[in-house]
Amino acid sequence: MNSRKRYTGLIDNYRHRLPINNKTKVISLGEGNTPLIKIRNIMSTLDKHVDIYVKYEGLNPTGSFKDRGMTMAVTKAIESDAKAIICASTGNTSASAAAYAARAGITAFVLIPDGKIAQGKLVQAMVGGAVVIQIKGNFDDGMRLVKEVADKAPVTIVNSINPFRLQGQKTAAFEIIEELGKPPDFHYLPVGNAGNITAHWIGYSECAATDSKQVTKACAYCKGDCSYIDGSSPGVRPKMVGYQASGSAPFIRGNMVDKPETIATAIRIGHPQSWDYAWIVDEESGGWFDECNDEEILAAQKMLAEREGIFCEPASAISLAGVLKDVESGKIPENSLIVCTLTGHGLKDPDTAIKQSTAPVVQVEATLEKVKSAILDNM
């Protein structure tokens, strides 16, 4: 038998760096270990030399980074005998919650904004057997209701306010450091609730720390006494750069946004749950927040698909759109090492992608003659 070690998910892979013990029953779908791809074709179109890698989180089991957090959140929910989990979601959290709840044999309740989630995500929640509750409101309304109902009913919240979610998600930073041999200079992420940018910062901070003094003030789990320090990249952490869609950009406006709008429905969030933590990340890392409009988001999504063969959903593409903007404006020095997280798969939202596709679909009779001329005409 082939002796190559079978990959069995991020909890098994990073046991010693997660709040898990030997008796914990792990609920996993083999999440994590996603590709880090150097986007050479796009790099070669820039005026400046920078190395850009994308971490393709769309290749997680349910097609988004949420699985990293959900394996931990559901594992810990089961450990404490929970029979049901609940979340509000712009789509990806609900898809992930449905799958992990199915795997664990418990019920998932998901609150989604009526008509504002991508088809692929809705179908995932439905086939996973989640109880889908469509509310006549947006994500922020759903999140408020989830918090209220969880106070009254025996359900565990698996949104990123659950600190185990961020513990799982921090492992993306470990993988990046292992592959690059060091942290990047800049790490770009789309920001909605700001859980993921916080989780990455926790991960990078644990790698940078060499003793058990406070690693980062942004960690809700260790509360200032981290036992997961690793010291593999002493003192070195990236600048964290968070991008938001212009119509849904509370971090750029400096206050909450009551009616968020953007084509990138995943990040159509006006009241981020990790508001305070994200500002700590911003300050500790020396990074920044900025915005892109829907046009820039869609252009970056198209560029990744056409030039690199990488299909991500609109919200994810904002991280590359942000890099392109900051390279052009001169914010990024020559020879910088940059990682962009592509948070979700393009297949999640086929409608938006088809609407802006310009690829030819040629209809011909089923004859050799016609197919041959269709090829020659389009060479």
Q: Which residues would be at the binding site for ligand AN7 (CB under 6 A)?
A: 64, 89-93, 160, 190-196, 266-267, 313, 315-316, 343-344
* Closest distance to ligand AN7 from the beta carbon of 369 (Å): 45
| Minimum distance from residue 356 beta carbon to ligand AN7 (Å) | 17
In the complex with ligand AN7, the residue whose CB is nearer, 229 or 281, is: 281
Which C-beta is closer to ligand AN7: that of 79 or that of 276?
276
**C-beta of 191 vs 240, nearer to ligand AN7:** 191
CA–chain centroid gap for 272, Å, is: 15
Query: Helices 119-127 and 92-104, interaxial angle, to 10°?
Result: 20
Residues 6+ apart with CB under 8 A from 58: 64, 311, 312, 313, 316, 342, 343, 344, 345, 346, 348
Q: How far is the CB of 6 from ligand AN7 (least distance, A)?
A: 28
CA 27 to chain centroid, in Å, comes to 20
CB-based contacts of 193: which residues, under 8 Å, 6+ apart? 159, 160, 269, 272, 273, 274
Nearer to ligand AN7, 237 or 268 (CB): 268
Tokens 């929910």: give the residue: 77
Q: How many CB atoms lie within 10 A of CB 2?
A: 5
SS in 3 state form for 300-351? HHHHHHHHHCCCECHHHHHHHHHHHHHHHHCCCCCCCEEEEEECEEHHHCHH
Please, which residue, 92 or 156, has the CB nearer to ligand AN7?
92
Q: CB of 364: closest distance to ligand AN7 in angstroms? A: 37
In 10 A of CB 46, how many CB atoms? 14
Which residues pair with residue 290 across a beta bridge?
Answer: 243
Rounded to a whole number of angstroms, the minimum distance from the CB of residue 262 to ligand AN7 is: 11
* Nearest CB to ligand AN7, comparing residues 75 and 92: 92
Smallest distance from ligand AN7 to CB 206, Å: 18
